[in-house]
Amino acid sequence: MFVVLRIANSINKHPNFLNFKLVIMEIKVLGTGCAKCSALEKAVKEAVEKTGVTATVTKVEDIVEIMQFGVMTTPALVIDGKVVVKGKVPTVDELSKLLTS
């Protein structure tokens, strides 16, 4: 407890403390519920855990919302508003590279 308090006090005294921003990656798995869509969601969650990135993973199944991304084939993956994968399920290693690049 003492160590945590010392660290917290040190952080608060740092001149850039108020400028610190926590960056949370927003990941959306687009798919209507098919087996590939579920596989992509599972692989994405594994890749997030493997890489340690801070992210929210959301499954989007509403076809109207999916079409707003210009996606006509599922599954698809959206990272921070940009479609990065369409119509396939990448490996966990491939997804990890996408998350850290």
Give per-residue pLDDT as tens, 32-62. 989 999 999 999 999 999 999 999 999 999 9
Confirm whether 76 is a catalytic residue: no
CATH topology of domain 27-100: Glutaredoxin (3.40.30)
Position 2 scores a pLDDT of 39
20 is catalytic: no
| pLDDT of 14 above 90 | no
The pLDDT confidence band at residue 16, using thresholds 50, 70 and 90, is: low
Taking the CA atoms of 25, 67, 41 and 95 in sequence, report the sign of the dihedral they define.
Answer: negative
Catalytic residue among 27, 29, 37, 48: 37
Whole-number average pLDDT of the chain:
85
Prediction pTM value? 0.77
Residue 77: closest CA among 91, 87, 67: 87
Catalytic residue among 8, 11, 34, 72: 34
